Amino acid sequence: MSHSSTEDVPLDHPDRWASLHTLFAECLKAPTEGFVEEVRAGRLEAELVDHVDVLSLSVSDPAPPHPADRATLQRAYLSLFEAMEQPFAPPVESPYKPWYGDRSGGLLGGPPASDMENRYEALGASPPPAYPADHVALLLEYGALLLDAGAVEEYRSFLDEHMDWLPAFAKLVEDARTDEPFYDWTIETLREVVADLRTRLDIPSPTEAAVEEMADRVDGSTVPEQADAVFDP
């Protein structure tokens, strides 16, 4: 996907955008007791509302639903993201994107994962072993690194290349809706934030046809036999 302009596009408050990326990355990692306490105490909402105000963001609902406890949120996480049976919504980029060759090995480890591994290697680092290199939480953290460094044009290219699948991800999350609304809220709010960023950075949004095509790739993919261990943090 190409940019609509070759000129540099400024972005105000890149440090704020970086913090917002980190916030959503934490929302999309396997839930811990500490994280659930942060949500239930209102600290996640307070931080998000602060960013929304400073960045003049328009989000449908800045108040996250409060999960009953970690066990409830963990069940929803497993059902949505690790069930490996339809309907589910893999939180990794590779299943949504074209591959160069045979996908018979399953959903994971495609070109986006290889690119992210190379990006980590260039930083002298390795992706955390708990997650695939192109897991949405790691993509958000990598984006935060670029924004913290003030590398807005590099971030712009990264956003265009590696975050265009989020609307398809949101569609699959909606199709696989669970009784726990926290992740529905998280993905929809993230989708709104990224759509706003694309507008500010003059990056065209994926078309409805492209979103459907990416979602269909997941529906038509082979589920790997060892997938239940892949996302176990």
pLDDT in tens, 113-168: 999 999 999 988 888 888 999 999 999 999 999 999 999 999 999 999 999 999 99
Backbone torsions φ then ψ of 110, nearest 5 degrees: -85, -170
Give pLDDT tens digits for 35-74. 999 999 999 999 999 999 999 998 999 999 999 999 999 9
Nearest residue to 44 via CA among 61, 56, 27:
27
Asked if the model's pLDDT at residue 1 lies above 60, the reply is no
What is the reported pTM? 0.88
- The whole-angstrom distance between residue 164's C-alpha and the CA centroid of its chain comes to 10
Separation CA 171–CA 200 (nearest Å) = 23
Which pLDDT does position 227 carry in this prediction?
Answer: 39
Separation CA 91–CA 77 (nearest Å) = 10
Higher pLDDT, 178 or 46: 46
CATH of domain 14-230: 1.10.3480.10
Q: Which residues contact 17 (CB under 8 A, 6 or more apart)?
A: 11, 55, 147, 197
CA atoms within 13 A on the CB side of 165: 27
Which pLDDT does position 10 carry in this prediction?
Answer: 83
Q: What tokens appear for 100 in the block?
A: 């160069």
Q: Residues 5-14: what's their mean pLDDT? A: 74
Single-letter amino acid code for the residue at 148: D
Asked if the model's pLDDT at residue 226 lies above 70, the reply is no
Separation CA 17–CA 111 (nearest Å) = 27
Give pLDDT tens digits for 84-100. 566 889 999 999 998 76
Asked if the model's pLDDT at residue 222 lies above 70, the reply is no
Nearest residue to 89 via CA among 167, 26, 24:
167
Single-letter amino acid code for the residue at 72: T
Asked if the model's pLDDT at residue 225 lies above 50, the reply is no
Which pLDDT does position 172 carry in this prediction?
Answer: 94
